[in-house]
Amino acid sequence: MEKKTFEYSDDFFFGWIVGFVDGEGCFCVSFNRKKSLPSNIEVRPSFSLSQKQLSLDSLKLLKSYFNCGGIRYSKKDGTYKFEVRNIRHLQTIIIPFFLKYSLKTNKKEDFLIFVSICDSISESLHLNTEGLIEIIDSAYKMNEPGKRKYTQEELLKFITS
């Protein structure tokens, strides 16, 4: 029996991506202590989606479509993660896609904050205290129920230490 293949319109495919990201995606800004930086803090924006192995092909499809990022396995939760961390790729590929094909859920608010933070990073505002404090404040408005390595208060103390 011949296997059928289906061809979808671009609008259908783009709608699938938006729906997938609305349900499973994450726009995130994480922070790490890095004493070699003047502020003692590294700012790391990322866009990601995690799936179990059964849905690994969907992550491969996204990686192929966006032509950036990587897929890695997480032993911690047994999932594969498609992730884009490169600021240039975020600003030239990922962000323009979601500005053109708008998210529909509350994830849209996180995305808009994410865009603002990425803009601040590309303007090097994360390298001065005032800009970094604004980025931290904005980042902690995103993904509110999510886990974080450091509290907002701890990060602010790191800046001044």
Asked if residue 3 has pLDDT above 60, the reply is no
Burial status of residue 41 (CB atoms within 10 A of its CB: 0-12, 13-18, 19 or more): buried
* Rounded Cα–Cα distance for residues 44 and 33 (Å): 11
Span 10-160 CATH architecture: Roll (3.10)
* Rounded Cα–Cα distance for residues 27 and 30 (Å): 10
Task: Give me the helices (H) in the chain, please.
Answer: 10-24, 56-66, 87-89, 95-100, 107-122, 129-139, 152-160
Model confidence pLDDT, tens digit, residues 30-88: 999 888 877 789 999 999 999 999 999 999 999 999 999 999 999 999 999 999 999 99
How many of the other CB atoms lie within 10 Å of CB of 101? Answer: 14
Asked if residue 149 has pLDDT above 90, the reply is no
Contact 68, 83 (CB under 8 A): no
**Alpha-carbon distance values, 25 to 75, 124, 140 (Å):** 19, 26, 17
Asked if residue 6 has pLDDT above 80, the reply is no
The more confident residue out of 158 and 96 is: 96
pTM: 0.89
Residue 130: band (very low, low, confident or very high) from pLDDT cuts 50, 70, 90: very high
